Amino acid sequence: MLLLAVSIVISLSIGSAGISIRDVWGILLHQLPWLADQPVPYSSGEIAIVTQVRLSRIWLAVLVGACLALAGTGFQGVLRNPLADPYTLGVASGSSVGAAFIILFGLQAALGLWTIPLVAFATGTVTLLGVFWLSRDKGVMQIETLILSGVIIQSFLGAFVSFMVSLSEGVVNQILFWLMGSLAMRSWDNVYMLIPFLALGLPLLLVYGKSLNLFVLGERHAAHLGVRVERTKLIILISSTLLTAAAVSVSGVIGFVGLVVPHLIRLIVGPDYRLITPLSAIGGGIFVLWADTLARTALTPREIPLGVVTALIGAPFFAYLLHRRKLKTGGPL
């Protein structure tokens, strides 16, 4: 929590507009109602950059990170698959197909503000079912087969998104936005859109923390201890998919957050999901915030797509997990 607060402060102070740290804080403090009467030493442009652009983007990064990391925690817990995350399972790509379709064909108004996340959720769910169907062999889901199916579907859907974008007047930028994820050019509206999803998903996953702990022992063990296995799985998979869809509809596909964060948290606090779940939400926020800060400042004034940064960190980590798993099981993958 403290780390998150510190990260927000630092990230807020760094940026391409060249406003000094003191001024950033001056502007922020000025927003407090009881200080608003003081004379304004800053230009309205500077104020807009800090309060509209930077602050909203930072909150967006934190919330997107929390959503993705929570979704990853849920997927890993219920599938008992250390390699599962919204990206590797293809759910993120599935959601992006729905969201991109709606945006590129201008159908946003159909169901109001919630059109995009709901459609993203629907296509994400269908994708997840498709991945399960592909990987199921005599009722058993192998860990590696599941991920392989996820990767296949993900590349197929990724091509689909590229195709849709190239059909429209889309520029390369937009394609990149959907395939690699970005938080540029978003606003407070997007932040408000994420909050209800997080407010629903986080408590749900917290309540099921104890059941997820029993899942660690295996589905049968959990059932014998009194867990309603099918119902628990359904609820957790749905909330994880919902969180993914919400995150994807505002930020495009940002990979590996849900993979890296729960693992790091698990390394620190152990296997107890009652701790992993809330800490992953916070950790995810910190991770994406730093990745985004890096994305927008590293090559100023250019922006690196956020997904590029997370993939540069996440993919080697993924490889490391695969390698460790191979050592542990002693056999080929």
Partner 1 sequence: MIEAQDIVQTVQGRTVLNGLSCSFQKGRMYGVIGPNGVGKSTLLHLLSGVEQPKAGKVLLDGQRISAYPRKQLAKQMAVLQQSGLPPVGFSVREVVSMGRYPFQSWLGGDEQDADQIIDRALSDMGLGELANRKMDQLSGGERQRVALAKLMAQEPSIILLDEPTTYLDIGFQVQLLDTVRAWQQARDLTVIAVLHDLNLASLYCDELLVLHKGKVAAAGAPHDVLTSAIIEQVYETKTTIITHPATGVPQIMLQPNVNF
142 binds partner 1 (CB under 8 A): no
Q: Indicate which single residue of 216, 268, 299, 333 sits in contact with partner 1 (rule: CB under 8 A).
A: 216
Of 18, 106, 112, 270, the residue at the interface with partner 1 (CB under 8 A) is: 270
22 is an interface residue for partner 1 by CB under 8 A = no
Instruction: Say whether residue 1 binds partner 1 (CB under 8 A).
Output: no
Instruction: Find the Cα–Cα–Cα–Cα dihedral 119, 121, 127, 130, rounded to 10°.
Output: -110
Q: Does 209 bind partner 1 (CB under 8 A)?
A: yes
Interface with partner 1 includes 92 (CB under 8 A)?
no
Could you tell me which stretch among 1-9, 66-74, 210-218, 252-260 binds partner 1 (CB under 8 A)?
Answer: 210-218
Q: In angstroms, how far is CA 300 from the centroid of its own chain?
A: 24
Q: Would you say 22 or 138 has its CB closer to partner 1? A: 138
Interacting residue with partner 1 among 225, 268, 298, 319 (CB under 8 A): 225
User: Residue-wise over 205-215: b if at least 16 C-beta within 10 A, else e?
Assistant: beebbebbbbb
Candidate residues 155, 221, 323, 326; the one interacting with partner 1 per rule CB under 8 A = 221
* CA diameter of the chain: 72
The reply to whether 82 sits near partner 1 by the rule CB under 8 A is no
The answer to whether residue 323 forms part of the interface with partner 1 (CB under 8 A) is no
Distance in angstroms (rounded) separating the CA atoms of residues 313 and 331: 27
For residue 271, count CB atoms less than 10 angstroms from its CB and return exposed for 0-12, middle for 13-18, buried for 19 or more.
exposed
Interface with partner 1, residue 234, by CB under 8 A? no
Q: Does 210 help bind partner 1 (rule: CB under 8 A)?
A: yes
Handedness of CA 87, 89, 92, 94 (dihedral sign): positive
**Which one of 42, 53, 274, 321 is in contact with partner 1 (CB under 8 A)?**
274
- Tokens 């927008």 found at: 296
Single out the residue of 97, 214, 237, 261 in contact with partner 1 (rule: CB under 8 A).
Answer: 214
Among 35, 217, 268, 333, binds partner 1 (CB under 8 A): 217
Cβ-Cβ contacts under 8 Å for 196 (sequence gap 6 or more): none
Q: What are phi and psi of 140, to 5 degrees?
A: -110, 135
Q: Which of residues 121-140 bind partner 1 (CB under 8 A)?
A: 138
* Nearest-angstrom CA–CA distance, 148 and 143: 9
C-alpha 230/C-alpha 108 separation (Å) is: 34
**What are the residues binding partner 1 (CB under 8 A)?**
138, 207, 209-210, 213-214, 216-218, 220-221, 223-228, 266, 270-272, 274
